[in-house]
Amino acid sequence: MPRANRSGRGRPALRDQYDVLGLLGTGGMGTVHRVRHRAWNIDLAMKSPRPELLSDASKRESFVREAETWVSLDLHPHVVTCHYVQTFDDTPRIFVELVDGGSLHDRIQDGTLYRGGADEALARLLDTAIQFCWGLDAAHRRGLVHQDVKPGNVMLTADGIVKVTDFGLAKALSEVGPQTSDPLVPVPAPFGLVSVAGLTPAFCSPEQAARLPLDPRTDVWSWAASVLLMFTGRRTWAYGPLAGQALETCLRAAPADRGRPAGAGAPGRGRAPVGQPPAIPDGLGDVLGRCLRDDPAERPESMAEVAQLLLTVYQRELGRPCPHEPYAPVRGMADDLNNRALSFLELGRDDEAAAAWRQALDADPRHAATLYNFGVYRWRRGEVTDEMLLQQLATAAPGDADDWLPDFLRARVHLERRDRRNARVALARVSDQAEETRAPAVRAAVAELEERVEEAGDFRRVRTVDRQAFVEAMAVSGDGARTVVALRADGPDADSTWLVVEETRSGREVARIPALGHGGRVTAVAADRAATLAVTGSEDATARLWDLRGEALRQTVEPGGQVQDLWLSPDGERLLTATDRTLAAFDLTERRRLWVSPGSDVSFVAFSADGSLVGSGGYEQIALWDGRTGRCLTELDHGSDAFRGFGLSGDGRWLLAARASGRLSVWDVGERDWSHAFAGSGRELRNVLLDPTGRHALTNSHRDRVRLWDVPAGRCLRTFDALRLSDSFAVWTPDGRHVLFHGSRSTAVWECRARDVTSPYWPSRVRPGAPAVARRARSLTDRADAAWQLGDVAGTLAVVRRLRALPGHANLPETDEAWRKLGLRCEPVTIIGARLLRVLDHFQSWIQDLSLHGSGLWGHAVSGDGEVVRWDLERGEVTAQHRLTGSYLARIEPSGEQLTSATYQGDYTRVALSARAGERRFQETAGHAGPGAPLDLALSRDGRFGAAVSLDVIPGMAREGGAERRLVWLRAEMQPWVRAVLDELDAERPRGGAVLVWHHATGARVRRYLVDRGPRAVALSADGRLAAAAGDEALWLWDNATGRSLWSLRMARARFRQVELSADGRWLLAADHADLVLLDTVARRVVRRSAGHGAEVRALAMAEDGRIAVSADQDGEVRVWDPRDGQCLWSLRGPTEVTALTLSEDRRRLLVGYGDGGLHLWAFDWDLAPPDPARGAEVVRPDLEQFVALHTAAGWDPRPGAAYPRHPEPSSSGNLTDEQVRALFTRHGRAAYTEIDVRNLLTRLSRAGFGWIAPDAVHRLLREVTETAATGLAGNDYVC
C-alpha cells in the first residue's frame, strides 16, 4: 500500500488527465483538439503548436511565458478563458474554454451572420462588433495587447455571445514561428487566417508591418479591418495597412451599396439575399475611418471609447438600445481567483493554488465554488475532515446567481464520502430549483450527477437491533454469513451471560447457548468458518469452546490470565489467545498448548485473518509474532510518540497504529518499515480497525463518533454516528462488505460498497446578469452613502444588507468597511455566517490556553509541552516564541501581556508576552513559591491575582513519589489520560481539594479555601475580588477580600469541569457534562440550563459582559450561545477534541485549539439590528462601574501616614494577614484615567455593540459613576 500522491498532480501522461474527443482544426502553426478534462468533468479546447516550431528548450520556455499572459486575464464574458499551459511530450499545450458556436470567420464564410432582413443583420453585426470591442478592452485594461486580431480569433456561442481568443499567442509565435523577408507576403488561406511570424498580414496595422513598438492602438486598427470584412463579406485589400484605402473606396459607393460586393444588386431595406451583408451606416463608417488612420495617435485611445461610439450608432440606426451591456466585474471577484487556483493546481503549483483560493475567500467568504474546490483539495490532502468540508459548504451564499450550486456541490461531496442517501437529498433540492429556473445547464449537470449516484460507492446502515441486555462481545464467522453475540443481563449472576448466533444480513436467530457459566464478564468471542464452533473468553482467565449446533460445551482452556482477545481457525482446530500478560496458541484437537509468549504488557492485540500474524503491545512498544510458531518477528518502538492502539489488515500486510499525538502511522509488515503517517482524529482514539485489505480503517474516539479512513491517501473519508459504542467497537466481515458495530445495548450492521468516486473540481463561469448586478450595486452604494451622511443608521443598515446580498459583493473591501462601521453603531443580534480563516499547524502537543487581541489580529497560544507562541493571525506567521521549562500548566492573562506557568511542585513563573519587533523570545521573570500542584489556573484581568485548584494527595502516594510524578507526566503529555485516572479515583472515593488565590507581585498567598468535593476548575473576576470554582456536584463562589463564602450550589449527580465568570462577577457559567448552567451571582439563582452538546464540554469562554458564551466538547463541536435566552447562535465542527478556545473582544473572531496541536481561526458574520435610542446609556452602567473600579488605586493609601505600603510584606509563612488582604482589595480616592483610557473604553463598547450610544452620553454617565465611587465606601463593599 504505497502512500498516495496527495496533490494528484505532476507531469502525468495526457491520457491520464484527458480524454481526446476529436480534432477541431489545424492551421499553419498547429492543431486544436477537443478534450474532456477528467478531474473537472468538462470539455476544453487544447491548442498544440507544431513541434518543429519549438525545437529547443529556450523556444519552449519563451512560448510558455508569453502564452501564460492569456492565463492572467480575469474571467470575462467576451474573452475565451485560458486555464493553463501544460507541457506533454516536450510540447506546450494551451487548455482553453471550449466555444461550440464556431468563429466569426466561419459565420462570415457560410453567410449565417447575415440571416434575416437587413435590419436584423445590421443589428447582429453591430452587436457583434460592440462585444468584440469589450473583449479586447478587457485585455487592454490588464496591459495585454493581442497583436493578432482577426475574425478567426473571435468565437461565437450559440446564443450570440462574442468571445475573443488567442491572447498572447501572436507574440509567442513571433519568437518561434517561420520568418520571411517580407512580413506582408500573401497567404494562401481565405481572408489571411493563418498567422505568419506571430501576425496575420491581412489584418496587421502599419506599425506592426514596419516592426515598430506596439500599444493597444494596433488592436484598434486590426479590429476595424475585421469589422470592415464583416460588412464586405470578403477581403478587398491585399494586406492590413491597405484596409483604410479599402474603407474609403467602400464609403464612396452609394449608401445602399456600401460594403456590398460588386454586382450584388441593391435590395434596399427589404429582405437581403441570403448571405449578403447590409450596408455600412454613416456613423459606423466614421468610427472605422478614425480607427484606420495611419498615425496611431489619431485613433481612438481605447476599445472602450470605440464601443461607446458604436452603442450610439446602434441606438440611432435601430431605434433601440443594444441588447448587451458592458461587463462590470466585481473587483477582486472570487471567480477569477478560483479559476486561477485550478490552473496552478494543474501545473503542480499547489502552494500558489492554495494562496489563490485564500485570496478568493478573502474577496468572498461565501463563494460556493471556492469553498468547494479548496475544501475538496484540503480534504484529499488530509488537512480537514469530511465534516469540516460540509460545514464550510453550508456557509456558501444561497443568494448567488446560481442558487442551485451549493446543494449541487454538497451532493458531489456526499458521493465521494460514500453517502448516497444524503447525495440524493441534496440532488432533490437541486432538481426542484432546476425545474423552477428551467436552466438547461442545471438540468444537464443534475442528470449526469444522478447517473453517478447509482454507480457510486456507499457506506450505509442495513439494520440496528436494540438488545434487552448488555452486549459483551461479538464475532463474525469466517464466511461472514453469521454473527455470534455474547449478551449479559443485569445482575451479578454468572449464568446471566448467554450466546446468540444470527444471520448477519437478516438478523434471524439460528442458535443460542443459554448459560455460559463464566465466573466473570465475557471479554472476547471468536467463531470458525461457518459458526458451528465458537470460543468465549472471560475475566475469569478461561476460554470455553462451544458446539453451537449441539449447544454444548466442548472444552475449557486456561490461557494464564484475563482474556483480552481470541482467534479461532476456520476449521476450529487451533486457538490463539491474548491475555493482559501473554499470548498463547492451543491445539484444540489434541487439547494441548503449542506455545506461549514471554510475559509483557499486553494492552492492545490484533490478529490477521488466517492467524499467521499476531500483534500485541502497550503504550511504548508493539511486537509482531508468528502465530504458528510463537516467534517474535519484529518490535516497533514508540519513539517520542506513544502508541494508543493499533489494527492489522486481514491479509497481514499492514499495521495501523494510533499515536498519543493523535496521528495514525502505517507499518509495512513485509518491508519492516513505516510507510507513512497522517493526522488522525485526536488523542482519545480508543479503537483502530483495518479492513481485510488495509485500504480502509475505522476508528472511534468518543462515544459514538466513528471515522472511515482512506488509509493510502491519509484522509478521513466519512464521519458518522454508529452506536453508543463499547470498547470492543466493531468487526469487519472477511470479504470487507459489511461492518458489525456493537454498543452497550445494541448492535448494527453497515454495508460497505467500496467503489471510489472522485468528484470533479468546479471552475467558475461568468456570472449571468453581471452588468445589471453592477448597476444595482452602484445604486445601493449611493443610497447607503446618502443615508449615512444624514445620520440614518437604520436606513443605511437596510441598504447595505441588500448590497451584501448581491452576488460577489458580500465581502468586497468597501462592503466590509461599511458593515464594520455599522457594527460600531448597531447591536449584533445573531450569527448569520462563519468561515474558517486559517488553519495553523505549528505545535506538536495539545493546546492548553489561547488569547486573542486587537480584534483578533494577533494572539498567543501555549501548548501542553510548554511552547509559547505569538501569532500574527492576519498573515498566519509566528512572530515570537518561548519554551517554558519545568512547567506543565500555563495560562495567559486576559490582557495578553503576561503568562503564568506552574510546576507540579507548586512553583510558578511569569512571562512577559510583549515581545518587541524583531525579537523572537519573551521576557521571563523569576519563579516564586506558589499555590501547590494545580489542576487549573486562572488570572485576573488586571494581572494582580492568580488562582489555582488542587486535589488532596492521593492516599498511599508520597507527595514526591513516582506515582504522582506519573500523574503529572500524563497531565503534561497526554491530557485526556489524566481525566481518566482522576475519574477512576473519584469513583473509588470522592476527594476534597483546595482553591488557592495568590498575589502576583509578592507571590504571597491571599486565600486558601478547602472544599469537600474535588475541585477541577477555577475562575476570577476582572479585579480578582471574586473567585469561583467547579467540582463534583458543586459550585462555589468566594469574596477574596473577606474570605467569605458567597454561595455554594449543590447539584446531585452533576459533574462540573469548566467554569467562567463575567468581568464584573455578575454571571457565572459552568459546564456540567454536556450542558451549560448559567447562574446569577447577585440573585443567587440558576438562570438557565442549556443542552445541545453530544459529549462532555472540555472548553469554555465568555465575553466580558457575559452576553456571549462559547463552549466546545470532546467530539470537536463548538457552540456559540446567548446565555440570556439559551439560544445556540452557531455551531462548528472541528477535527478532534477541543482543549482551548478564546473569543475576540468584538466577538467576530474565534480561535480554537485542539488536542492534536492544531489551531483554527474562525470569523463570524453577525447580523445587526438598528439601535434603540429609548434604551439610553444606562445599559452600559455595569461596564462603566467595572472601568472605574479597575482605574481606582488599590492596595495602598497615598495619604500621609498611611497604614499600608503599596505591596504588603507577607509573613514568614508566605501568607498575608486578613488586614493585609483587605488592603489589597481596598480602593482609595478617585479613579485615575486618561483621555486615551476613555477612548479605549469607547472602542470596547463599540465592539460590544454599543457604538450607537453617543460619546457625550457615555462621558456624562462615566462622570456620575466616578463621583459615586469616590464618595462611597471606595470599594470596601463589593458591588456586582
- Quick one: pLDDT band at residue 1012, thresholds 50, 70, 90? confident
The grid coordinates listed for 1065 are 462577577
3-state secondary structure of 525: strand
Dihedral, CA of residue 301, residue 305, residue 306 and residue 312, to nearest 10: -150
Q: What is the CATH number of the domain that holds 311?
A: 1.10.510.10
Please check whether residues 1123 and 1015 belong to one and the same domain.
Answer: yes
Residues whose CB falls within 8 Å of the CB of residue 212, separated by 6 or more in sequence, listed in order: none
User: Measured between alpha carbons, how far is 958 from 962 in angstroms, rounded to an integer?
Assistant: 8
User: Measured between alpha carbons, how far is 610 from 734 in angstroms, rounded to an integer?
Assistant: 10
* Averaged pLDDT score across all residues of the chain: 81
Please check whether residues 274 and 262 belong to one and the same domain.
Answer: yes
Last residue of a domain, one of 1118, 1140, 1167: 1167
324 in a structural domain? no
Q: What's the pLDDT score for residue 474?
A: 92
Identify whether the C-beta of residue 991 lies closer than 8 Å to the C-beta of residue 982.
no
User: Measured between alpha carbons, how far is 752 from 1147 in angstroms, rounded to an integer?
Assistant: 43
58 in a structural domain? yes
Please check whether residues 821 and 845 belong to one and the same domain.
Answer: no
Question: Which range scores top for mean pLDDT: 323-337, 906-920, 974-988?
Answer: 323-337
- Quick one: pLDDT band at residue 197, thresholds 50, 70, 90? very low
Nearest Cα to 815, choosing from 1241, 1129, 362? Answer: 362
User: Measured between alpha carbons, how far is 1043 from 1222 in angstroms, rounded to an integer?
Assistant: 9
Chain centroid offset of residue 556 CA: 54
Could you say which DSSP state residue 54 is in?
Answer: G
The grid coordinates listed for 533 are 464452533
Please check whether residues 1069 and 1146 belong to one and the same domain.
Answer: yes
Please check whether residues 472 and 416 belong to one and the same domain.
Answer: no
3-state secondary structure of 984: helix
Sheet architecture: strand order including 993-999: 936-939, 945-951, 993-999, 1005-1011
Q: What Rg, from alpha-carbon coordinates, does the chain have?
A: 38
Residue 205, pLDDT above cutoff 50? yes
Q: What's the pLDDT score for residue 706?
A: 86
Question: Which range scores top for mean pLDDT: 409-423, 451-465, 762-776?
Answer: 409-423
Last residue of a domain, one of 296, 318, 340: 318
Exposed/middle/buried for 141, CB within 10 Å: 0-12, 13-18, 19+? middle
What burial letters (b/e) apply to 1108-1127, b meaning 16+ CB within 10 Å? Answer: bbbbbbbbbbbbbbbbeeee
Please check whether residues 695 and 843 belong to one and the same domain.
Answer: no
What burial letters (b/e) apply to 762-789, b meaning 16+ CB within 10 Å? Answer: bbbbbbeebeebbeebeebbebbeebbe
Q: What's the pLDDT score for residue 963?
A: 37
Q: What's the pLDDT score for residue 855?
A: 77
- The predicted-structure confidence for 515-552, as pLDDT tens digits, reads as follows 888 888 899 999 999 999 999 999 999 999 999 988 89
- Quick one: pLDDT band at residue 447, thresholds 50, 70, 90? confident
Q: What is the CATH number of the domain that holds 972?
A: 2.130.10.10
Which amino acid, 711? V
1217 in a structural domain? yes
The percentage of residues in the chain with a pLDDT greater than 70, rounded to a whole number, is 83
Average pLDDT over residues 1229-1256: 81
User: Measured between alpha carbons, how far is 692 from 708 in angstroms, rounded to an integer?
Assistant: 14
Q: What's the pLDDT score for residue 492?
A: 55
875 in a structural domain? yes
The grid coordinates listed for 1124 are 440570556
User: By mean pLDDT, which of 502-506, 828-832, 859-863 is the weakest?
Assistant: 828-832
Q: What's the pLDDT score for residue 400?
A: 45
**Angle 303-318/217-232 helices, nearest 10 degrees?**
30
User: Measured between alpha carbons, how far is 826 from 1170 in angstroms, rounded to an integer?
Assistant: 5
Angle at CA of residue 902, ends 898 and 907, nearest 5°: 110
Overall size of the chain counted in residues: 1280
Q: What's the pLDDT score for residue 591?
A: 93
CA separation, residue 384 to residues 5, 241, 366, 381, 1020 (Å): 17, 60, 18, 8, 36
Binding residues for ATP: 47
362 in a structural domain? no
Identify whether the C-beta of residue 504 lies closer than 8 Å to the C-beta of residue 476.
yes
Question: Which range scores top for mean pLDDT: 258-262, 519-523, 624-628, 885-889?
Answer: 624-628
User: Measured between alpha carbons, how far is 1218 from 1205 in angstroms, rounded to an integer?
Assistant: 15
Q: Which helix (H) or strand (E) holds 1167?
A: strand 1158-1169
- The predicted-structure confidence for 30-74, as pLDDT tens digits, reads as follows 889 999 888 888 889 999 888 887 878 888 888 888 888 888 888
The strand pair at 936-939 and 945-951 is best described as antiparallel
946 in a structural domain? yes
User: Measured between alpha carbons, how far is 211 from 777 in angstroms, rounded to an integer?
Assistant: 45
Nearest Cα to 653, choosing from 699, 692, 604, 627? Answer: 692
- The predicted-structure confidence for 927-959, as pLDDT tens digits, reads as follows 444 445 678 889 988 788 888 888 764 333 333
Residues whose CB falls within 8 Å of the CB of residue 1028, separated by 6 or more in sequence, listed in order: 1018, 1019, 1020, 1035, 1036, 1037, 1038, 1059, 1061, 1068
CA separation, residue 1082 to residues 140, 761, 910 (Å): 69, 57, 33
User: Measured between alpha carbons, how far is 1066 from 1023 in angstroms, rounded to an integer?
Assistant: 13
User: Measured between alpha carbons, how far is 361 from 383 in angstroms, rounded to an integer?
Assistant: 17
User: Measured between alpha carbons, how far is 977 from 324 in angstroms, rounded to an integer?
Assistant: 67
Please check whether residues 999 and 886 belong to one and the same domain.
Answer: yes
Exposed/middle/buried for 401, CB within 10 Å: 0-12, 13-18, 19+? middle
- CB neighbourhood size of 185 (10 A): 10
Please check whether residues 234 and 304 belong to one and the same domain.
Answer: yes
User: Measured between alpha carbons, how far is 605 from 623 in angstroms, rounded to an integer?
Assistant: 10
Please check whether residues 712 and 572 belong to one and the same domain.
Answer: yes
The grid coordinates listed for 1225 are 482589595
Nearest Cα to 43, choosing from 21, 11, 24? Answer: 21
CA separation, residue 358 to residues 103, 341, 352, 580 (Å): 36, 9, 10, 51
- CB neighbourhood size of 282 (10 A): 14
CA separation, residue 1116 to residues 395, 891, 1094, 1195, 1273 (Å): 19, 21, 10, 43, 47
List the end-to-end C-alpha distance of the chain, in Å, as a whole number. Answer: 64
What burial letters (b/e) apply to 229-241, b meaning 16+ CB within 10 Å? Answer: bbbbbebbbebbb
Please check whether residues 1162 and 1195 belong to one and the same domain.
Answer: no
User: Measured between alpha carbons, how far is 400 from 585 in angstroms, rounded to an integer?
Assistant: 65
User: Measured between alpha carbons, how far is 149 from 164 in angstroms, rounded to an integer?
Assistant: 9
The grid coordinates listed for 454 are 447509482
Average pLDDT over residues 1162-1179: 82
Last residue of a domain, one of 808, 826, 844: 826
Please check whether residues 1062 and 1036 belong to one and the same domain.
Answer: yes
Binding residues: 47
Q: What's the pLDDT score for residue 487?
A: 92
Q: Which helix (H) or strand (E) holds 1153?
A: strand 1149-1154
Model confidence, pTM: 0.73
- The predicted-structure confidence for 368-414, as pLDDT tens digits, reads as follows 899 999 999 999 998 888 988 988 888 776 544 567 888 899 999 99
- 1003: domain range? 834-1167
Residue-wise DSSP of 770-802 = HHHHHHHHHHHHHHHHHHHHTT-HHHHHHHHHH
Count how many domains the chain has.
6
759 in a structural domain? no
Please check whether residues 1130 and 1206 belong to one and the same domain.
Answer: no
1184 in a structural domain? yes
The percentage of residues in the chain with a pLDDT greater than 90, rounded to a whole number, is 32
The grid coordinates listed for 521 are 464478564
